Amino acid sequence: MHHFSYIDGRLHAESVPLDRIAAEVGTPCYVYSTATLTRHYRAFADAFAGLGASICYAMKANGNRAVLRLLTGMGSGVDVVSGGEMALALAAGAPAGRIVFSGVGKTEDEIAAALQAGVHQLNVESEPELDAIDTVARRMGVKAPVAIRVNPDVDAATHAKITTGKAENKFGIEWTSARQVFRRAMTLEGIAVKGAAIHIGSQILDLGPFEAAFLKVRDLVAMLRADGVTVERLDLGGGLGVPYHQGDESPPPPAAYAEVVRRTLGDLGCALTIEPGRAIAGNAGVLVSRVIYRKDGITRTFAVVDAAMNDLMRPALYDAWHDIWPVVEPPAHAERPLVDVVGPVCETTDTFARDRALPPVAPGDLIAFMTAGAYGAVMANQYNGRPLVPEVLVDGDRFHVVRRRPRLEDLAALEDLPPWLAD
Ligand code: LLP
């Protein structure tokens, strides 16, 4: 459920017409809905309230400071995966005690910064990383609170490029060595073992893989406790999917997901954490773009739009589908000829949709790529000399540019000519 809908024939974000934002801010631009973000956060908070679980929003999905401020203001913690994300989360006002630091390649500097800040927990991804955390913590005279991420080797049945919980993936400690690594961790002076963590993948549309993974975690907890290992906390990661194909995909609601957690892990006496990203931010955002040209080729028709793969990488990277809605509502029985929607970047993969049945769009028309609130702006880059697109947050009938469009001179702002080329 989201708050982008047609009112009087124009697509609105809550009460604000998208054409008004496009006129004031320019295109392309990302537009986020406060009501949708709030609604999704509450759905998780309500579903997990009975389980006493903490929600640590995975800010990699959308790390805009306004989004973070909104969510942390409602009580969310934050899952971060780099020193940069941690700094952004702290700057947005997230209390360090509600930050979980995940990620497979934490550097010594990042570990020290996390311990200095006093984060809730570091999720350890490998034995060498465990040793690095131990070393840094001992040097600082503290004990690092850690959860050890295990790889449960389940197939999340999602896109191969976003699955993480299979043995062949780089994430977590292999299931078969987990027990021995926990035992060793208990002996390290700089480490306080708090529990276990998993994350099996993203855009998961079926509860089966979650259930399989949670049951494996349940067995692991029993084994570890028998070994005398402390397991006070379980971090279950994120991964719940969202509907990218309107009417075609129906991901389980947070309440059903919470029910699986309750059934499989609810009686272990562990403090639970979940790290949803996409399910909170995904359909809380759209990318608004303007059609520049319509190009009638011999075999295909192209709508060339002003957004490109650098602004929204998901179609180019994962062949991802995003629904495309014209900003002016088409008549109910409008013809829908097939069109390829492409961006201006000089790559064939800069294609948002192939053979998409769309009401005819003409140069100057505005369109919205739906469900672009997660893994959209955060993954953007400046390829082809295209400045990052601005982000706008709507709240009811007001809106604010929460990340401005860089000026063209900002494109090379960090570059410096060597003196021998400076003339
Ligand atoms: N926790 C960990 C440790 C993660 O690696 C991830 C996502 C999450 C939580 C949040 O997962 P979510 O609830 O958003 O599914 N760029 C890809 C998605 C990559 C996800 C990476 N990890 C995409 O656009 O589909």
Residue 309 sits in a domain whose CATH number is 2.40.37.10
pLDDT computed for residue 297 by the predictor? 83
The answer to whether 139 and 117 have CB atoms below 8 angstroms apart is: no
Task: Please say which residue of 274, 298, 319 terminates a domain.
Answer: 274
Between the CA of residue 347 and those of 145, 312, 342, what are the distances in Å?
A: 46, 14, 10
Question: Do 186 and 209 fall within a single domain?
Answer: yes
Q: How many angstroms does the Cα of residue 134 sit away from the middle of ligand 1?
A: 27
pLDDT computed for residue 248 by the predictor? 79
pLDDT computed for residue 163 by the predictor? 66
Residue nearest atom 16 in ligand 1 by C-alpha distance: 375
Residue nearest atom 23 in ligand 1 by C-alpha distance: 375
Is 181 part of a structural domain of the chain?
Answer: yes
Please list the pLDDT of the chain residue by residue as tens digits (423 residues): 899 999 999 999 999 999 999 999 999 999 999 999 999 999 999 999 999 899 999 999 999 999 999 999 999 999 999 999 999 999 999 999 999 999 999 999 999 999 999 999 999 999 999 999 999 999 999 999 999 999 988 887 777 666 666 666 777 899 889 999 999 999 999 999 999 999 999 999 999 999 999 999 999 999 999 999 989 999 999 999 999 998 778 899 999 999 999 999 999 999 999 999 999 999 999 999 999 999 998 889 999 999 999 999 999 999 999 999 999 999 989 899 999 999 999 999 999 999 999 999 999 999 999 999 999 999 999 999 999 999 999 999 999 999 999 999 999 999 999 999 987
Between the CA of residue 164 and those of 120, 149, 201, 239, 351, what are the distances in Å?
A: 23, 11, 5, 10, 26
Is 352 part of a structural domain of the chain?
Answer: yes
CA dist 388 and 422 (Å) reads 27
The answer to whether 401 and 288 have CB atoms below 8 angstroms apart is: no
pLDDT computed for residue 162 by the predictor? 62
Is 169 part of a structural domain of the chain?
Answer: yes
Is 88 part of a structural domain of the chain?
Answer: no
Q: Is 93 annotated as a binding residue?
A: no
* pTM greater than 0.90: yes
315 lines ligand 1 (CB under 6 A): no
Counted domains in the chain: 2
Length in residues, the chain: 423
40 lines ligand 1 (CB under 6 A): no
165 lines ligand 1 (CB under 6 A): no
238 lines ligand 1 (CB under 6 A): yes
* ipTM score above 0.90: yes
Q: How many angstroms does the Cα of residue 220 sit away from the middle of ligand 1?
A: 24
Is 240 part of a structural domain of the chain?
Answer: yes
pLDDT computed for residue 195 by the predictor? 97
Is 267 part of a structural domain of the chain?
Answer: yes
The answer to whether 121 and 167 have CB atoms below 8 angstroms apart is: no
Residues with a catalytic annotation lie at 346
Q: Is 314 annotated as a binding residue?
A: yes
Task: Please say which residue of 256, 274, 292 terminates a domain.
Answer: 274
Question: Do 117 and 257 fall within a single domain?
Answer: yes
Task: Please say which residue of 274, 308, 337 terminates a domain.
Answer: 274
Q: How many angstroms does the Cα of residue 104 sit away from the middle of ligand 1?
A: 13
Domain of residue 9: give its range: 4-31+282-412
Q: How many angstroms does the Cα of residue 21 sit away from the middle of ligand 1?
A: 29
203 lines ligand 1 (CB under 6 A): yes
